[in-house]
Amino acid sequence: MRDGQPVHALKWGLRSEAFRPDGSAAPYSKATNCGEAAQAKGTPVTCTWSLFDAVQRLPFDSETIRFDFLDELGVLKRGHRLESRRSATVEIDGRA
């Protein structure tokens, strides 16, 4: 249990390889990124490019959408939210 919610193991993986214009594989370009974290069942998860797509499709009158964010497919960051038509004051270098 996490925060009173049942959890399951969230696993992810990404494999990539760069190719030259002639179609041959570029040397030393293979990369793999994998991870695993405990995740509350039913909590939506998104990653960088999927989040960009979701934001542009978000209806202006939508309710708050809560989700966890998979940053660069390496770190699961919990407790994010999307809201529309809201303003907030943020502090940067001690100034609002």
Residue found under tokens 């907030």: 88
Q: Token pair of 46, please?
A: 């998104």
Please tell me the pTM assigned to this model.
0.54
On whether the CB atoms of residues 82 and 67 are closer than 8 A, the answer is: yes
Sign of CA dihedral 25, 26, 27, 32: negative
What pLDDT was estimated at residue 86? Answer: 61
* Burial environment of residue 70 by CB neighbours within 10 A (0 to 12, 13 to 18, 19 or more): buried
**Secondary structure E strands in the chain:** 7-16, 31-40, 45-47, 65-71, 75-82
pLDDT at residue 3 in the model: 60
**pLDDT for position 72:** 74
The predicted structure's pLDDT at residue 20:
92
Give 10-residue mean pLDDT values along the chain (96 residues): 62 81 89 73 77 77 81 80 76 90
